Amino acid sequence: MHIAKIITTLVCLSFSHAGSAQVGANANAINPNLAKKGELTALPGVTTAIADKIIKARPISSNLQIDKIIGDNLSGKDKATLLAKLFLPINLNTVSDEELGLVPGISRKMKHEFEEYRPYTSIKQFQREIGKYVDDKEVARFEQYVFVPMDLNSASSDAFRSIPGMSRKMVHEFEEYRPYTSMQQFRREIGKYVDDKEVSRLERYVFIK
């Protein structure tokens, strides 16, 4: 009986932690800001030249940049196939209509639904609202391409850990300097540990109320 309670508690904690993530679980797409050159060239249609252009453009802030880079070499179905595997998580609250249209497999109706429920406060809300129109499998597929920005002063450790490429040490540093009063302060403090490009990459996932 005691063991059963422990197992139940652990399961509940597991779901609680997963639910506090603010960046969608990435099952298939790799992040263009984090992928190694070999990972990029292993993708369909990515030549060494394309991989070099992507790496040089970092930190990439929009999938429109990726679209432009690969658009010089790929088109139509080949480009769509690649974008399904190489995608930068989009900010659900600020993404442009044009960039939203690059989400693999998104329809005009679903674009409307993504925008309809702004502002999003959590991935859980996204799951709930989009789940009104598609099944759980399709919600999970869409989820890997999106994120909801998190408040630097109130986000949980689990939320910070969901940021792509986030280390345990960096989660500690994010929390160490609370309360933040400005993004300039964030850049200054986190800039003690990583270079300007990495600060810029991390910055797109956070805000200050």
Helices (H) and strands (E) in the chain, counts: 13, 4
pTM of the model: 0.87
3-state class of 86 per DSSP? strand
3-state class of 23 per DSSP? strand
Measured between alpha carbons, how far is 122 from 178 in angstroms, rounded to an integer? 21
Specify the pLDDT at position 72: 78
Specify the pLDDT at position 180: 98
Specify the pLDDT at position 205: 98
Specify the pLDDT at position 141: 95
207 forms bridges with which residues in the sheet? 151
Q: What is the mean pLDDT of each run of 10 residues along the chain (209 residues)?
A: 40 42 86 97 95 97 95 86 95 98 96 97 96 97 96 97 96 98 98 98 97
- List C-alpha distances in Å: 80 to 31, 102, 106: 16, 8, 11
Specify the pLDDT at position 8: 36
Specify the pLDDT at position 2: 46
